[in-house]
Amino acid sequence: MTERSVSIVIPTYIGTAEGLDFLDVQLDALTCQDYVGDFDVVIADNGSPLDVKVHLDNHPTSDRLKLQYVDASGTQGAAFARNVGADSAAGEILLFCDHDDRAYPTWVSHLVAFLNEGYDLVCSAVEGDSLNTDNPRHVANVPAPDKFQPVGLYAPVIAGGSMACRAEVYRKLGGQDVTYVANEDLEFGWRAHREGYRTGYLPEALLAYRYRQGFRPGYRQGRTRGLALTRISVEFPDSGFPEIHLPEVVLRMIRLPFTRGLVPEERGLMIGLAVGQFRGALRHRTMRWI
Protein backbone atom coordinates (compact mmCIF):
# COMPACT_ATOMS: atom_id res chain seq x y z
CA MET A 1 0.00 0.00 0.00
CA THR A 2 1.29 3.47 -0.93
CA GLU A 3 2.01 5.55 2.14
CA ARG A 4 -0.02 8.75 2.43
CA SER A 5 1.78 12.07 2.16
CA VAL A 6 2.37 13.76 5.50
CA SER A 7 2.95 17.36 6.56
CA ILE A 8 4.39 18.05 10.00
CA VAL A 9 3.25 21.40 11.41
CA ILE A 10 5.35 22.98 14.17
CA PRO A 11 3.83 26.09 15.82
CA THR A 12 6.76 28.20 16.91
CA TYR A 13 7.40 31.17 19.16
CA ILE A 14 11.08 31.66 19.93
CA GLY A 15 12.51 34.50 21.99
CA THR A 16 15.92 33.15 23.03
CA ALA A 17 18.96 31.53 21.46
CA GLU A 18 18.20 28.47 23.59
CA GLY A 19 14.83 28.25 21.87
CA LEU A 20 16.58 28.08 18.50
CA ASP A 21 18.73 25.27 19.89
CA PHE A 22 15.59 23.40 20.95
CA LEU A 23 14.16 23.82 17.44
CA ASP A 24 17.39 22.38 16.01
CA VAL A 25 17.04 19.34 18.29
CA GLN A 26 13.50 18.73 17.04
CA LEU A 27 14.40 19.18 13.38
CA ASP A 28 17.36 16.85 13.74
CA ALA A 29 15.05 14.26 15.31
CA LEU A 30 12.72 14.54 12.32
CA THR A 31 15.59 13.67 9.98
CA CYS A 32 15.84 10.29 11.76
CA GLN A 33 12.24 9.16 11.16
CA ASP A 34 11.71 5.62 9.86
CA TYR A 35 8.56 6.54 7.91
CA VAL A 36 8.92 5.22 4.35
CA GLY A 37 6.56 7.76 2.73
CA ASP A 38 7.08 11.43 1.95
CA PHE A 39 6.72 14.17 4.50
CA ASP A 40 7.46 17.87 4.71
CA VAL A 41 7.86 20.18 7.70
CA VAL A 42 5.98 23.48 8.05
CA ILE A 43 7.36 25.94 10.61
CA ALA A 44 4.49 28.25 11.56
CA ASP A 45 6.13 31.24 13.26
CA ASN A 46 3.78 32.93 15.73
CA GLY A 47 5.62 36.28 15.80
CA SER A 48 8.91 35.17 17.35
CA PRO A 49 11.15 38.05 18.56
CA LEU A 50 14.09 36.24 16.95
CA ASP A 51 14.28 35.85 13.18
CA VAL A 52 13.33 32.20 12.76
CA LYS A 53 13.21 32.51 8.97
CA VAL A 54 16.85 33.58 8.80
CA HIS A 55 17.75 30.73 11.13
CA LEU A 56 16.05 28.25 8.80
CA ASP A 57 17.67 29.62 5.64
CA ASN A 58 20.36 27.10 4.67
CA HIS A 59 19.62 25.14 7.85
CA PRO A 60 21.84 22.04 8.36
CA THR A 61 18.78 19.78 8.03
CA SER A 62 17.54 21.35 4.78
CA ASP A 63 19.30 18.70 2.69
CA ARG A 64 17.36 16.00 4.56
CA LEU A 65 14.04 17.73 5.28
CA LYS A 66 11.57 19.58 3.09
CA LEU A 67 11.32 22.74 5.20
CA GLN A 68 8.74 25.48 4.70
CA TYR A 69 8.55 28.67 6.77
CA VAL A 70 5.19 30.45 7.10
CA ASP A 71 4.38 33.70 8.91
CA ALA A 72 1.70 32.93 11.53
CA SER A 73 1.96 36.16 13.50
CA GLY A 74 -1.58 37.45 12.92
CA THR A 75 -2.98 36.28 16.27
CA GLN A 76 -1.08 35.17 19.35
CA GLY A 77 -1.37 31.51 20.30
CA ALA A 78 -0.53 27.99 19.26
CA ALA A 79 -4.03 27.40 17.83
CA PHE A 80 -3.63 30.20 15.29
CA ALA A 81 -0.14 29.04 14.34
CA ARG A 82 -1.33 25.46 13.85
CA ASN A 83 -4.21 26.65 11.70
CA VAL A 84 -1.96 28.78 9.49
CA GLY A 85 0.50 25.92 9.19
CA ALA A 86 -2.30 23.51 8.28
CA ASP A 87 -3.56 25.90 5.60
CA SER A 88 -0.10 25.89 4.01
CA ALA A 89 0.43 22.14 4.31
CA ALA A 90 0.18 19.85 1.28
CA GLY A 91 0.00 16.50 3.06
CA GLU A 92 -3.08 14.29 3.24
CA ILE A 93 -2.24 13.72 6.90
CA LEU A 94 -1.26 16.51 9.30
CA LEU A 95 1.06 15.79 12.20
CA PHE A 96 1.65 18.34 14.94
CA CYS A 97 4.52 18.66 17.41
CA ASP A 98 6.16 21.49 19.34
CA HIS A 99 9.51 23.06 18.56
CA ASP A 100 11.04 22.41 21.99
CA ASP A 101 10.32 18.66 22.24
CA ARG A 102 12.00 15.71 20.49
CA ALA A 103 10.24 13.10 18.38
CA TYR A 104 11.28 9.47 18.59
CA PRO A 105 12.38 7.87 15.27
CA THR A 106 9.05 6.00 15.15
CA TRP A 107 6.90 9.06 15.81
CA VAL A 108 5.65 9.62 12.25
CA SER A 109 5.25 5.97 11.29
CA HIS A 110 3.42 4.93 14.47
CA LEU A 111 1.02 7.88 14.49
CA VAL A 112 0.20 7.42 10.81
CA ALA A 113 -0.29 3.66 11.26
CA PHE A 114 -2.57 4.26 14.25
CA LEU A 115 -4.58 6.88 12.35
CA ASN A 116 -5.00 4.41 9.48
CA GLU A 117 -6.72 1.93 11.79
CA GLY A 118 -9.89 3.90 11.12
CA TYR A 119 -9.42 7.10 13.11
CA ASP A 120 -9.78 10.72 12.03
CA LEU A 121 -7.80 12.33 14.85
CA VAL A 122 -5.31 10.73 17.25
CA CYS A 123 -2.52 11.54 19.66
CA SER A 124 0.11 9.59 21.57
CA ALA A 125 1.55 9.54 25.05
CA VAL A 126 4.81 11.39 25.72
CA GLU A 127 7.57 11.01 28.29
CA GLY A 128 9.07 13.69 30.51
CA ASP A 129 12.33 12.07 31.60
CA SER A 130 14.90 12.14 28.81
CA LEU A 131 14.83 15.91 28.16
CA ASN A 132 14.57 16.88 31.83
CA THR A 133 17.39 15.14 33.63
CA ASP A 134 18.51 18.50 35.07
CA ASN A 135 14.97 19.79 35.52
CA PRO A 136 12.81 16.94 36.86
CA ARG A 137 9.33 17.18 38.26
CA HIS A 138 8.51 15.10 41.31
CA VAL A 139 4.72 15.29 41.54
CA ALA A 140 3.29 16.96 38.41
CA ASN A 141 5.33 14.84 36.02
CA VAL A 142 4.03 13.28 32.83
CA PRO A 143 2.36 10.03 33.92
CA ALA A 144 3.25 6.60 32.62
CA PRO A 145 1.80 5.99 29.13
CA ASP A 146 -0.78 3.49 30.38
CA LYS A 147 -2.02 6.08 32.91
CA PHE A 148 -1.81 9.13 30.64
CA GLN A 149 -5.55 9.27 29.88
CA PRO A 150 -7.91 9.88 32.82
CA VAL A 151 -10.93 7.59 32.87
CA GLY A 152 -14.51 8.80 32.80
CA LEU A 153 -13.97 11.75 30.48
CA TYR A 154 -16.18 12.75 27.57
CA ALA A 155 -13.69 11.50 24.94
CA PRO A 156 -9.95 10.81 24.60
CA VAL A 157 -7.77 13.76 25.55
CA ILE A 158 -6.02 15.02 22.42
CA ALA A 159 -2.60 16.61 23.03
CA GLY A 160 -1.41 18.91 20.27
CA GLY A 161 2.25 18.21 20.96
CA SER A 162 1.95 14.70 19.49
CA MET A 163 -1.12 14.69 17.25
CA ALA A 164 -2.19 13.38 13.84
CA CYS A 165 -5.30 14.37 11.91
CA ARG A 166 -6.64 13.82 8.42
CA ALA A 167 -6.17 17.14 6.62
CA GLU A 168 -9.71 17.19 5.25
CA VAL A 169 -11.12 16.62 8.75
CA TYR A 170 -8.97 19.38 10.27
CA ARG A 171 -10.25 21.83 7.67
CA LYS A 172 -13.89 20.71 7.88
CA LEU A 173 -13.78 21.40 11.61
CA GLY A 174 -12.39 24.88 10.94
CA GLY A 175 -9.15 24.14 12.75
CA GLN A 176 -8.53 24.90 16.39
CA ASP A 177 -10.40 27.59 18.32
CA VAL A 178 -8.09 30.61 18.53
CA THR A 179 -10.09 32.11 21.42
CA TYR A 180 -8.77 29.44 23.80
CA VAL A 181 -5.80 30.60 25.88
CA ALA A 182 -4.76 26.96 26.45
CA ASN A 183 -6.10 23.44 25.98
CA GLU A 184 -7.20 24.35 22.46
CA ASP A 185 -6.08 20.86 21.44
CA LEU A 186 -8.37 19.23 24.02
CA GLU A 187 -11.32 21.35 22.85
CA PHE A 188 -10.54 20.48 19.22
CA GLY A 189 -10.51 16.76 19.96
CA TRP A 190 -13.77 16.86 21.88
CA ARG A 191 -15.40 18.98 19.18
CA ALA A 192 -14.29 16.40 16.60
CA HIS A 193 -15.81 13.64 18.74
CA ARG A 194 -19.06 15.60 19.10
CA GLU A 195 -19.24 16.04 15.31
CA GLY A 196 -19.02 12.29 14.81
CA TYR A 197 -15.36 11.87 13.95
CA ARG A 198 -13.43 9.01 15.49
CA THR A 199 -10.71 10.07 17.92
CA GLY A 200 -8.14 7.83 19.54
CA TYR A 201 -5.24 7.75 21.98
CA LEU A 202 -2.12 5.63 21.50
CA PRO A 203 -0.74 4.68 24.95
CA GLU A 204 2.84 4.62 23.71
CA ALA A 205 5.35 7.40 24.39
CA LEU A 206 6.47 8.56 20.94
CA LEU A 207 7.94 11.90 21.89
CA ALA A 208 10.11 13.41 24.61
CA TYR A 209 8.41 16.40 26.29
CA ARG A 210 10.45 19.31 27.66
CA TYR A 211 9.31 20.97 30.88
CA ARG A 212 9.48 24.72 31.39
CA GLN A 213 11.99 26.01 33.91
CA GLY A 214 11.28 28.31 36.84
CA PHE A 215 8.26 29.28 38.91
CA ARG A 216 6.88 32.02 36.66
CA PRO A 217 6.75 30.01 33.40
CA GLY A 218 5.14 27.14 35.30
CA TYR A 219 2.62 29.49 36.91
CA ARG A 220 1.65 31.07 33.58
CA GLN A 221 1.16 27.65 32.00
CA GLY A 222 -0.92 26.38 34.91
CA ARG A 223 -3.09 29.50 35.13
CA THR A 224 -4.05 29.47 31.44
CA ARG A 225 -4.75 25.73 31.60
CA GLY A 226 -6.99 26.19 34.65
CA LEU A 227 -8.96 28.94 32.91
CA ALA A 228 -9.38 26.85 29.77
CA LEU A 229 -10.44 23.72 31.63
CA THR A 230 -13.30 25.54 33.32
CA ARG A 231 -14.47 26.87 29.95
CA ILE A 232 -14.34 23.37 28.46
CA SER A 233 -16.43 22.11 31.38
CA VAL A 234 -19.12 24.62 30.43
CA GLU A 235 -19.04 23.93 26.70
CA PHE A 236 -19.00 20.17 27.25
CA PRO A 237 -21.39 19.57 30.19
CA ASP A 238 -20.66 15.83 30.14
CA SER A 239 -16.90 16.42 30.24
CA GLY A 240 -16.31 14.31 33.34
CA PHE A 241 -14.17 17.00 34.98
CA PRO A 242 -14.84 17.42 38.70
CA GLU A 243 -16.71 20.49 39.89
CA ILE A 244 -14.70 23.34 41.41
CA HIS A 245 -15.52 23.76 45.11
CA LEU A 246 -14.41 26.99 46.78
CA PRO A 247 -13.05 25.47 50.03
CA GLU A 248 -11.00 22.85 48.16
CA VAL A 249 -9.41 25.20 45.62
CA VAL A 250 -8.64 27.85 48.26
CA LEU A 251 -7.03 25.21 50.47
CA ARG A 252 -4.85 24.13 47.54
CA MET A 253 -3.71 27.71 46.92
CA ILE A 254 -2.81 28.08 50.60
CA ARG A 255 -0.99 24.76 50.95
CA LEU A 256 0.99 24.62 47.71
CA PRO A 257 3.48 27.42 48.54
CA PHE A 258 4.55 25.42 51.60
CA THR A 259 4.42 21.90 50.14
CA ARG A 260 7.83 20.27 50.31
CA GLY A 261 9.51 18.37 47.51
CA LEU A 262 8.29 20.46 44.59
CA VAL A 263 10.70 22.06 42.14
CA PRO A 264 9.86 25.71 41.34
CA GLU A 265 8.34 24.96 37.92
CA GLU A 266 5.88 22.36 39.17
CA ARG A 267 5.01 24.47 42.22
CA GLY A 268 4.20 27.32 39.86
CA LEU A 269 2.26 24.98 37.56
CA MET A 270 0.08 23.61 40.37
CA ILE A 271 -0.55 27.02 41.99
CA GLY A 272 -1.33 28.50 38.59
CA LEU A 273 -3.75 25.68 37.84
CA ALA A 274 -5.61 26.32 41.10
CA VAL A 275 -5.72 30.08 40.47
CA GLY A 276 -6.92 29.53 36.91
CA GLN A 277 -9.66 27.17 38.02
CA PHE A 278 -10.72 29.63 40.73
CA ARG A 279 -10.93 32.54 38.26
CA GLY A 280 -12.54 30.40 35.58
CA ALA A 281 -15.21 29.06 37.91
CA LEU A 282 -16.09 32.61 38.94
CA ARG A 283 -16.11 33.82 35.33
CA HIS A 284 -18.34 31.01 34.12
CA ARG A 285 -20.44 30.93 37.30
CA THR A 286 -19.74 27.29 37.98
CA MET A 287 -18.16 27.68 41.43
CA ARG A 288 -19.61 25.45 44.13
CA TRP A 289 -19.43 27.39 47.38
CA ILE A 290 -19.38 24.42 49.77
What digits encode the pLDDT tens for the residues 241-288?
889 999 999 999 999 999 999 999 999 999 999 999 999 999 999 989
Distance CA 53, CA 71 (A): 9
Instruction: State residue 256 phi and psi, 5-degree precision.
Output: -60, -40
Whether this prediction's pTM lies above 0.85 is answered by yes
d(CA 11, CA 24): 14
- Phi, psi angles (nearest 5°) of residue 43: -95, 110
What per-residue confidence (pLDDT) applies to 151? 84
Give the pLDDT confidence score for residue 2 in this predicted structure. 55
Q: Summarize pLDDT for 53-64 with one digit per residue, the tens.
A: 999 998 999 999
Q: Please compute the mean of the pLDDT values over residues 146-158 and round it to a whole number.
A: 90
* Correct CATH for 6-208 of 3.40.50.300, 1.20.58.1690, 3.90.550.10, 3.40.30.10: 3.90.550.10
Q: Angle 264-283/246-255 helices, nearest 10 degrees?
A: 160
DSSP letter at 257 equals: G
Give the count of beta carbons closer than 10 Å to the beta carbon of residue 59: 16
Burial class for 253, CB neighbours closer than 10 Å (0-12, 13-18, 19+) = middle
Q: What strand order describes the sheet that includes 6-12?
A: 67-71, 39-45, 6-12, 93-97, 162-166, 121-127, 199-208, 102-103
| pLDDT confidence band for 204 (50 / 70 / 90) | very high
Alpha-carbon distance of 57 to 106, in angstroms, equals 27
